[in-house]
Amino acid sequence: MAAVGEVSDEIKDVGQPAGGSLTSQNLPASVSETIVDQQPQSSEGEEKLRPTTNTLVPTAMGQYDGAEYVTIGEAHTPRMDNFKKVSVLPLIFLIFYEVSGGPFGVEDSVHAAGPLLALLGFLVFPFIWSIPEALITAEMGTMFPENGGYVVWVASALGPYWGFQQGWMKWLSGVIDNALYPVLFLDYLKSGIPALGGGLPRVIAVLALTLVLTYMNYRGLTIVGWVAVLLGVFSILPFVVMGFISIPKLEPSRWLEVNLHDVDWNLYLNTLFWNLNYWDSISTLAGEVENPKKTLPKALFYALILVVCGYFFPLLAGTGALPVDRELWTDGYFSDIAKMLGGVWLRWWVQAAAAMSNMGMFVAEMSSDSFQLLGMAERGMLPEFFAKRSRHGTPLVGILFSASGVILLSWLSFQEIVAAENFLYCFGMILEFIAFVRLRMKYPAASRPYKIPVGTVGSILMCVPPTILIGVVLALSSLKVALVSLAAVVIGLVMHPGLKYVEKKRWLKFSISPDLAVLDPSGHESTDTSLR
């Protein structure tokens, strides 16, 4: 495994032959894959990726297989080159905050199922869900290193209609998820500041927090990345201290407490699912990452370790050092545990860490959501104004839309938000699994700078356990959550033809960015319009 450090893009440029422009016919036969950027002067107006029979070498997660690219007519617009890309360390913490942000919010797993099942859940669940999702994100994110992420994966495999549905469901799921962080932030502070428990002070606090963090997103992704690093270190430190303080008080027998006849499976699974998903969210801003072919898999690997440890060890300390009263284990309870173990000073530190963590999760999620809208606009799925960037390089319209959604949904309770976003997220993940397998079958030789070392059958088998889990989560959802979520799905189903009608009538302008490539491994004129 290469150490986290400098990463350099290994791009092999092919010189232009004398007396003419460079085309795919000029390429040497040894080239295995070719990405041709769109050239407006071309008669076909399309980009092609052409494989030969060369075999891609599988790699372990976090490694790079050394696949080379031949870039034809590559020309980045000033809007991309003028902004600094995100490097490995900030990307690790952006993923950390997309997925976790620390143990804040895991308390309900103990409330729902007791210490033993809570601890086992955060050890076993990553193998069922987190690792497969992270691996798929690493492969597909390096195959399509552009903003839009999973929207482009699904569109290339299943067509633009389902690509749009994926974008709608995942964006809405992300906005619902982001509405949770002001709620969780205030739940941690209300024990020290009771006025924030409800009423007008809580409403004002939600609005003020949303405005401040939205402005931070507006100022630039690089700033958000390094802020995530600082917030991450600050959020993890109090639990390290709490862990050391708890060692003399640990009683291992407390970890084994379980009552299978008194388990709220719906709350338990939703809490695990919410705390260990969203690995794919980072793909929506892959176009802003420095050398994503190498950086993205490496960052996912380190973030996975950080997330699992960040959940398991605080739970180990909290349930082992104190008698467990399941009724008390609700969101915000870690601050009370900190007071009982270390005193008021540690409680205030945990509360401050919770505040910082929720800030980190908010800005990371909003970055993902807003860059997803930008990527969809660059693919012509949304009106062109969604692709406009601010002077800081950020998607201004996408940020405003995402912030508006957060404010509208922030009145929901913690449990309602978790259940609603999980329901929509499940539908989106089913489309991702289908797209992953279909692209393996449809484009087996397409360039995959990182490739999971399994064949087609292995790809299918890898998706089976998380798909079963999705079915269980959906089956356990309440009727209210199911109806609201299905209504949101129906809105997406009719929104796409509605936007196509608007485009046809020219009421709004739609366009496709000339910097994006169309995947076509046949070497002939592309008939795959999924990305067009």
Longest dimension (CA), the chain: 81
Please report, for the chain, the start and end positions of each structural domain, with discontinuous segments joined by +: 89-505
Q: What confidence tens digit (pLDDT) does each residue in 53-104 have?
A: 333 344 445 444 443 333 333 333 334 455 678 889 999 999 999 999 889 8
Give 406-427 as a DSSP string. HHHHTTS-HHHHHHHHHHHHHH
Burial of 502 (0-12, 13-18, 19+ CB in 10 A): middle
Distance from C-alpha of 303 to C-alpha of 282, rounded to nearest angstrom: 11
pLDDT value at 282 more than 80: yes
- Smallest CA-to-CA distance from 181 within 239, 238, 97 is with 97
Indicate the Cα dihedral angle 441, 444, 446, 450, nearest 10°: 100
Q: What confidence tens digit (pLDDT) does each residue in 118-165 have?
A: 999 999 999 999 999 999 999 999 999 989 999 999 999 999 999 999
Burial of 27 (0-12, 13-18, 19+ CB in 10 A): middle
pLDDT value at 401 more than 50: yes
Task: Identify whether the C-beta of residue 495 lies closer than 8 Å to the C-beta of residue 436.
Answer: no
pLDDT of residue 85: 85
pTM tops 0.85? no
Mean pLDDT of 108-118: 95
Task: Identify whether the C-beta of residue 75 lies closer than 8 Å to the C-beta of residue 87.
Answer: no
71 by DSSP, 3-state: which? strand
Query: Under CATH, what is the fold of the domain 89-505?
Result: Amino acid/polyamine transporter I (1.20.1740)
